[in-house]
Structure 1
């Protein structure tokens, strides 16, 4: 039980400036000044008067006021990898009736359990452009998590945003557009938390690739680096792009935020005071707790004063039994290194998030073990002790299969259709490709879905869930064909070339080719793709398969399952390719969802949440695949600024295959009569004033005898992280030869300041998400949408704005809706533009300002089909 002191982990590079200097962008790396991140101290304490948090904080105060120091440390420190049942847990507070809180993946369902659902990816949900469906998905996931005994569901995801189309985990999030992602975050959070589970917005921030995110992982792949990647992002870009959806998450009342693995401007995200103290807690007024990603904590006291509130899974490295916090945090508070108000603030934030979604301190038991599906086993998996029933196989799926089917269908984008769809009892249907069939070893045979065998319904990594079943496209389409009396044959291989040719060359064939590309988290390598994709081509010679079938069959329909764009350049324009659909990663009802669209039971209205470029290079950004800073931290400079995805294509006037927001229907729509109404929003007033001084809750003993491990009360569990000391000699307990140095020797200035602090001008006094006036509606835009076809359909009108400045994107999405319209009828689209929607971030004022340039609003059916425009008065 040798413990390390908090002080031993304090030496970190101080966070200094806010971003990159433009003059550096063309310099060789070894001649450049590396980006830095400015310090921000002290860590802002909670605001019990914040909108939506008052009742939760009143209950938290009553609870925390009764806690001992050991109990507070127990609440903030993970118990260690494999120490209990969940992927992460903190210590229990049995004296006050609180069992250990359970943290569990993932952003598309409950990971590692059974009798749970496998939901569509966030990206597929975003393609619906349907706020209600995204909320319902979140609510269903929250219900399933709660039913398993999970208290914090680790999602939704806004980092990665999707800067590089090859990014491995883009599919876990929503879209490279910050507004669409912000809506996805807010609606998911509301749904998850309304169901009684705390949501965790992640990964904060700049976590845009898998390569080099963790040193050990990169070294395992043969890369010689000593520090994790640094995402170097300037202040303006950070605010206008990457921080935007997190502001929406905070405004939606998210209970927790997970800081990310990589560095931001050469300071690790989980100890970056500018990020956690300055932006998240200061500017955005976040009132919940900050949780580390698993092993993303690199310091003890330094991370505490920089704004980290909970460390996951608790040990410095998996299965070491050593912790930066635990006993070290106890000792740091006792000796004054970490101020008492900071540990109180951590506990208050955690318990306020708890009470925000829980009515009672008594929780249902955790009824599963992440480490095994066996019914009986050791509850302490690492120690292999505590043998008992650990899995109760509780079925939490309810009727969520029908919701998953609906999202999968309504998230399927019809990219091209020359008239072959919808299918109407085709005479002869031939289904081609491995992606149409099953994984012959079973849908869960690859750990965390770390393979691409059979139809692709989710990517790989910790962002996955076990499937209760997978309806394959082959099964669903065959069932429909039998019902219709169609002839049906399928060849579930990409390489049976002669057999495929013989089949699709026959008369009266409608051929549907299923192809895919996959990606995921960096700890899994699939065919040389170390999380991030190596390229944007289809996997398993999918492009050759499509071109071959199209050369033999004049009615070839292509269905793509993928975690983002793939290159279509070689075949999309072939006259024999009569339709193309992107079905995303649709979850367990995959086959039923695509059959619903192909046969017209669902009239497609989904929109592409990203741009389909003609080449990989056309995107202007990519993953950094090779270290570029010797054996130091690889430097990933976001020199493109806010110009990613459609913003970049517009800036460079580049052609695209299919633009952001594109999607077809089986009916047609006409746009007309755009109007603008200006609201009476008042003048923007920057926030002024100060916080209250830091509050503390209760005194604690300074006698080290009160903190020694109570071996007479319970046995020590191997590798379990405790808050207790192993001796009353603090130097011996710390294991630190330099123990006894005062905090000012190694903590930054003001890190322990407890006095009232000035409020940031961009923050809100009591309004999470920033200054409340940022969300004032400035203009309301309306337009008429008429269904000019013969069948009922849904249309997705999109509201864009041009801010008019020389450094602004040509247009930016700001609002949208999904509207059902009967044939021949007209519906009115109504979108709003808030002050934030019309503002730029002023790096000098450190606030949002509306520039002097002319502003124009556009309403259309995609980012490049803007039917209507109007100048804002």
Structure 2
């Protein structure tokens, strides 16, 4: 396959509707094609304090390696080849064990004696980067304790363009700023624990349908292409990954889909151009599992590690492995490119301290048995593979706190909440109780039986236990002397009517579910078919509310659900969105229902109608070659679309009620003299060119070597494998002299000037209620141009304030925060339009406003009434 080309140039990509249904064989030429970005930049730690020592060590060790040893580091050994979901080859001569790569972004997939943490959507709902760090650190410690070297998380792709997206729950909310802060915090936490974090999925991987051609129920020849214009790519989808790179992330996973008709893992513009050149990423890029579609092309485009190694699971065929050895020998892949791959991998290895404190692998992904085959598919090397080391520590306390603080109160009429030892409560809905098959009874959580506490797919973990809401409520009722009854059959409406009439508080638990595309549940192939509730949820609510004047609804779901059928029912007194809370689900919801913990805020918009989002997930392909998904919404994702089109949501982005009452007083903006900003000048490092001195004869399988069945090795079968007419890429891909660093580049995360502080914003906040509380103070900026969103999030703080106390909350505004991507200069610029800063409680409740164009500006207070727990439903602007 020819080297791929990715387009991110031009103001926007305009698509003719006539092309959408075209079926011609040459269909790829009708859609966006990418300019190349070559040569692949050489990684470096020069001038980067947190990377410099790691690079010195990496360069020294790689200099001692043979071609086969370097190839071994870059190539997975094959699916089920060893104990982890991904394993690289080893370098035993230098004492380097192969890397163990393991899902997931919320715990250890297939783990035993390990925790099931709240999902990404729930940590995002806390709006607390400190908790995001602690969650990342706890997960990193558990992975390290199992011998995992690379945790396959955290997630910022999908970002949540489509509310039905199957894997939205793995990520950090539908705003690039919010997602980026969470991504960076998780990266720091995981890597401080001594494990390499892997930020994923890079990039624009916004739906499960057609992400892999072979997985689709409707046959297509190639995977879906996400077609994204240059400005949107930078300001929306790349933005969180820039934060991860700046935070020092060791690895990034390229995605299954095509982007502008180039597969993500052979996308020279996205990997070489944006990630490694513009963002200055020093770590390594790995493929998603079977997302590699070529050999030489992917190496030249910037891929550094192929996972799981085989082209198709347990096929024994690989694009790399021995084929990469051949490509280096015949010159198709320069030796300096292989050196760079290995160096980037080892630099990340040293950066997190894996050379100093590394645990032997003591988990098995393919069985819960203690004894089994180390080479699982080949059935070879029998012994202890599950050490059953308990790595949970005291993490249950953190899990409970995150899940509670990530629960959002959407409605609270009168004194419905918090509950205060009610005389009798009744609980309704299967989401309140246990899966009869057990918490891990559905492989990879691929069902919606019982309470929903995580989505399905590779982003899951085994539950060590799962506290259902009913169990926790029973424990609380017993302690309080409360009578508790329940009906958890979603279709026993007659019994619900009878039970509901007896209770002083009726607690209804409803759900929706989603996950990865390789699993289909009730016709939902990863992506949800719609935004309605599952398991007869609407009817359960209506039935209970018709018979109980204090009906409190809790929703467990991977994202927004439509609520218009029941939200305004006068007997629905309170509504909570509880996300996907993990193993402490029941305990965490009790903490919120009884007022023991301050709740969170929405990381997405809940619309009145699904069509209000202005986007359509593709369920049917628009051609049989490669479905074309045009991101026509551009910058207007989620709340930005609602604001721009003056659409009233049911609950806006950032919304959530509090236990107490808040008053925003004053806003003062102080300008900081940060100096000027200019395009970065320089070049990526030149490659150290050396001749390949090893001969084909030296790279043939060693005599008498035992080959494990279907295992991927770096050696060649015979010297005849080294053909002289090997595949070659474009001439510029072989230039060892580097390339100009892009104007927006110059350091990890981009041009250092982007992170200069330009303004300081000081706001005054009072807790005027009767109890201590926590407020999420949110800062939004208006860029002032007609083609900009109305406002974008550019700051938030979760602060604790005692009753009667007044505090000052200080934000800093960076140059990046008020810049826009200029497609002509390929750099960030600040337009001359007047800019304003808004501070408040949500994207539509912003009482404080000030201009950003003066030296020192005192803003105005629009004197809106405070949103409080007792104020009931909030008032829109």
Distance 1:17 1:741, change over 3 A: farther
SS at match of 1:53: helix
Sort the Cα spacing of 1:55 and 1:161 in 2 relative to 1 into closer, same or farther, 3 A.
same
CA deviation profile, 1:291-326 (whole Å, cap 9, x unmatched): 000000011111001000000000011011111001
Residue 741 of structure 1, aligned match among 708, 716, 725 = 725
One of 200, 203, 206 as aligned partner of 2:204: 206
SS in 1 for 2:795: strand
Q: Does 1:827 align with 2:825?
A: no
CA distance in 2, matches of 1:770, 1:547: 52
Correspondence for 1:11 among 2, 5, 10: 2
Inter-CA distance 389–242: structure 2 relative to 1 (3 Å threshold): same
**CA–CA distance in structure 2, aligned partners of residues 578 and 382 of structure 1:** 55
Distance 2:587 2:786 in 1: 47
The CA deviation at 1:592 is: 0.3
Q: 1:623-673: CA deviations, max 9, x gaps? A: 1111102x2000000011010110000011001100000001111000011
Aligned residue in 1 for 2:844: 864
CA distance in structure 2 between the partners assigned to 1:103 and 1:172 by the alignment = 18
Q: CA separation in 2, counterparts of 1:680 and 1:357?
A: 36
Structure 1 residue corresponding to 2:681, chosen from 673, 685, 688: 688
> How is 1:630-669 mapped onto 2 (pairs within 5 angstroms)?
631-669=624-662
Mark the CA change 1:87 to 1:359 in structure 2 (over 3 Å): closer, same or farther.
closer
C-alpha spacing 1:104/1:23, structure 2 compared with 1 (3 Å) = closer
Q: Deviation of residue 603 (structure 1)? A: 2.7
Q: Tell me the distance in 1 between the aligned counterparts of 2:524 and 2:419.
A: 36
Cα 1:557/1:17, change in 2 over 3 Å: closer
**2:269 alignment partner, one of 236, 259, 274:** 274
In structure 1, stretches of 5+ residues that fail to align are 1-9, 732-738
Of 380, 396, 403, the match for 1:401: 396
Question: In 2, distance between residues paired with 1:18 and 1:749?
Answer: 22
Structure 1: distance between partners of 2:636 and 2:527: 21
Cα distance in 2 for partners of 1:350, 1:528 equals 40
SS at match of 2:328: helix
Contact 2:4/2:34 (<8 A) preserved: no
1:691: Cα distance to partner? 2.9
State the 1:124 CA deviation.
0.2
1:628 aligns with 2:622: yes
1:185–1:245 contact (8 Å) kept in structure 2: yes
- State the partner residue of 1:523: 518
How far off its partner does 1:14 sit?
Answer: 4.1
In the alignment, what sits opposite 2:605? 611
Matches within 5 A, 1:217-616: 217-218=215-216, 221=217, 223-358=218-353, 360=355, 363-418=358-413, 419-506=415-502, 508-604=503-599, 606-616=600-610
Match of 2:41 in 1: 44
Q: Distance in 1 between matches of 2:4 and 2:699?
A: 32
TM-aligned CA deviation for residue 16 of structure 1: 5.3
1:164-211 Cα shifts (integer Å, max 9, x gaps):
000000000011100000011000000000000000000000100000
Distance in 1 separating the partners of 2:7 and 2:109: 38
1:90-143 CA distance string (max 9 Å, x none): 001111111110000000001001100000001100110111100000000000
Match of 2:743 in 1: 761
The 1:353/1:380 distance shift into structure 2, 3 A limit, reads: same
Q: Say whether the 8 Å CA contact 1:97–1:362 is kept in structure 2.
A: no
Closer/same/farther in 2, CA of residues 361 and 700 from structure 1, 3 Å limit: farther
Residue in structure 1 matching 2:15, options 3, 24, 30: 24
Secondary structure, in 3 states, of the residue corresponding to 1:607? coil
In structure 1, the partner of 2:711 is 720
> 2: CA distance between counterparts of 1:179 and 1:354?
28
What number of residue pairs does the alignment pair up?
845
Q: SS at the partner of 1:347?
A: helix
* 1:701 positional shift: 3.3
CA contact (8 A) 2:42 2:738 kept: no
Distance 1:326 1:28, change over 3 A: closer
Residue pair 1:788, 1:823 contacting (<8 A) in 2 also: yes
Corresponding residue for residue 696 of structure 2: 704
How much does 1:544 deviate? 1.2
Q: Does 1:799 align with 2:799?
A: no
Aligned partners of 1:135 and 1:190 also within 8 Å: yes
Report the alpha carbon displacement of residue 35 of structure 1 after superposing the two structures with TM: 1.3
Counterpart CA distance in 2 for 1:313 and 1:668 is: 53
User: What residue in structure 1 maps to residue 720 of structure 2?
Assistant: 729
| Cα shift at 1:690 | 2.1
Specify whether residues 209 and 133 from structure 1 end up closer, same or farther in structure 2 by C-alpha distance, changes over 3 A only: same
* Worse-superposed segment, 722-731 or 551-560: 722-731
The 1:224–1:776 alpha-carbon spacing in structure 2 relative to 1, beyond 3 Å, is same
* C-alpha separation in 1, matches of 2:215 and 2:9: 28
Contact 2:268–2:301 (8 Å) recurs in 1? yes
TM-score, scaled relative to structure 2:
0.95
**Distance change in 2, residues 1:62/1:340 (3 Å):** same
Please report how far the alpha carbon of residue 413 of structure 1 lies from its aligned counterpart in structure 2 after TM superposition. 0.3
Counterparts of 1:180-199 in structure 2 under 5 Å?
180-199=178-197
TM-score with structure 1 setting the length: 0.95
Structure-2 separation of matches of 1:551 and 1:854: 52
Q: What aligned pairs does 1:15-164 form with structure 2 within 5 A after superposition?
A: 15=6, 18=9, 21-30=12-21, 33-51=30-48, 52-164=50-162
Structure 2 Cα separation of the partners of residues 528 and 26 of structure 1: 29
- The answer to which of 20-29 and 158-167 deviates more is 20-29
Aligned match of 1:752: 734
CA deviation profile, 1:212-249 (whole Å, cap 9, x unmatched): 0001101xx2x120000000000000001000000000
**In angstroms, what is the RMSD of aligned CA positions?**
1.3
CA distance in structure 1 between the aligned counterparts of 2:179 and 2:12, rounded to whole angstroms: 28
Contact between 1:781 and 1:832, CA under 8 Å: does it hold in 2?
Answer: yes
Q: Is the 8 A contact 1:68 1:700 kept in 2?
A: no
Between the aligned partners of 1:20 and 1:810, the Cα distance in structure 2 is: 19
Alignment CA distance shift 1:613-1:374 (3 Å): same
* 1:425-454 deviation per Cα after TM superposition (whole angstroms, max 9, x unaligned): 001100111000000110001000000010
Q: 2:684, 2:163 → 1: CA distance?
A: 42
Partner SS, residue 184 of structure 2? helix
**Which range moved further: 252-261 or 616-625?**
616-625
Counterpart position of 2:830? 850
Does 1:179 find its partner at 2:171? no
Which whole-Å CA distance do the structure 1 matches of 2:159 and 2:282 have between them? 23
Task: Please say if residues 667 and 791 of structure 1, whose CA atoms lie closer than 8 Å, have aligned partners that are also in contact.
Answer: yes
- In 1, distance between residues paired with 2:261 and 2:82? 34
Contact 1:83 1:380 (C-alpha < 8 Å) held by counterparts: yes
SS at match of 1:514: strand
Q: Is the 8 A contact 1:87 1:105 kept in 2?
A: yes
The Cα shift of 1:24 comes to 2.3
